[in-house]
Amino acid sequence: MKLASRTESYTKRVALVLQGGGALGSYQAGVYETLASSDYKPDWVAGISIGAINAALIAGNSPQMRVEKLREFWRTITTPTTWPVWISDLVNGASLPFDLGKQISALNALIFGQSHFFAPRKPSDWWFGHTPTSYYDTSSLKSTLERLVDFDRINSQEMRFSIGAVNVRTGNFAYFDNAETEIRPEHVLASGALPPGFPSVEIDGEHYWDGGLVSNTPLQYVIEYHPRRSHLVFQVDLFPARGPLPGNLNEVAERDKDIRYSSRTRAGTDILRQLHDLRHSINMLWERLPNDLRTGPEVALINEFRCVTTMDIVQLIYRPERALGQSKDYEFDRPTMEARWAQGLADAQETIMAAPWLELMPPELGARTFDVRAKSPTGDTSKASSNIISQRVVALRGKT
């Protein structure tokens, strides 16, 4: 599919913002595959949790290898673990009822962990008064990152890279940015260290947990970073705000999780848009002030608060065609991963073809938000996108 071209007059830098969401993160990989083949290749990638891992795979590889390394990572961690071969064949071959297959996949992750990602602690870890602070060990993820990510490339600052985590001792949010910090595998592990499943990660004498405990999206960091620059931000979220009325307890738990994560993201996005509009309005007032009124301490704050940059925030939200259950973010079976990847690719293609951000921005606005695919309360997929998804799933399976 030929994607819409970027006009020469549209000069905003491109940022890719990746939310946390565990196994749902292959949707983000599909979005990136589309961006990588478009005129909107990211200059800056920021992420939290699984978004931080995807961000590292992107920033830590050459442009021609980024999609392949993303694909290798997602294939690696969706490799069947300890189940007998016949059970894995049933799940991966979709021979089981939809819900049962999902439950088996999630149960497999809980009991046995995921290949090259995390593993349950050994019984001996709990003996002789030992008190582990997590149920799983993530040392295998560190090895996977060291194999697939070139941290020297990240630290070369060829692409801006920022990931978020929470200081366990202070409760404060922290960002690890390659413009300010030498990035190591530990920084990526820290951003995805969700308790009590995963252990905290020590960095320079402090311990960190998953950034999603405080904020599940790094959008604010990208928009508010000084000095501000105008950006086109692709914000990839993994939990939809809108959805059908639950019909059972499993669907209730899923909607609860969706609402909790998406509401924080949506509220944060709305506040940031309003704040940036306010900064823009203050700048318009500043421009009308006579020069003799622009000096003095009473106007210093106004000068500091004003802003001339503009932001276009494009929301790409994973909206499955049916309820997946509350375990969807730890279901790592291969076919589901491929379907999520394909949907991300298709959604991004549809969004770039529409390209609503190319419309002239009204002068009174500082920021705009777009969600091309927000079509119905259930997030039904269009026929065109469904065809793209089906074709892409077949293509992905042919490469495994």
Does residue 385 sit within a domain?
no
d(C-alpha 280, C-alpha 286), whole Å: 10
Q: What is the pTM of this model?
A: 0.87
Does residue 1 sit within a domain?
no
Does residue 34 sit within a domain?
yes
Higher pLDDT, 381 or 155: 155
Does residue 397 sit within a domain?
no
Q: Enter the tokens of residue 244.
A: 């059908």
Which has the closest alpha carbon to 216: 182, 250, 239? Answer: 239
Query: CB neighbours of 290 closer than 8 A, spacing ≥ 6?
Result: none
Q: Are strands 173-177 and 119-120 parallel, antiparallel or unpaired?
A: unpaired
Question: Structural domain of residue 202, as residue ranges?
Answer: 16-333+349-380
Indicate if the pLDDT at residue 50 is higher than 70.
yes
Does residue 225 sit within a domain?
yes
pLDDT tens-digit readout, 232-277: 999 999 999 888 899 999 889 999 999 988 877 777 788 888 888 8
CATH number, position 256 = 3.40.1090
The active-site residue out of 177, 210, 258, 329 is 210
Instruction: Tell me if residue 49 is catalytic.
Output: yes
The active-site residue out of 49, 134, 215, 385 is 49
Instruction: Tell me if residue 38 is catalytic.
Output: no
d(C-alpha 138, C-alpha 343), whole Å: 28
d(C-alpha 394, C-alpha 1), whole Å: 16
Does residue 83 sit within a domain?
yes
Looking at residue 83, its pLDDT comes to 54
Structural domain count of the chain: 1
Residue 282, φ and ψ in degrees, nearest 5 = -60, -40
Does residue 390 sit within a domain?
no
pLDDT tens-digit readout, 131-163: 899 999 999 999 999 999 999 999 999 999 999
Distances from the Cα of 182 to the Cα of 128, 156, 176, 229, 247, angstroms: 38, 9, 8, 23, 49
Does residue 386 sit within a domain?
no
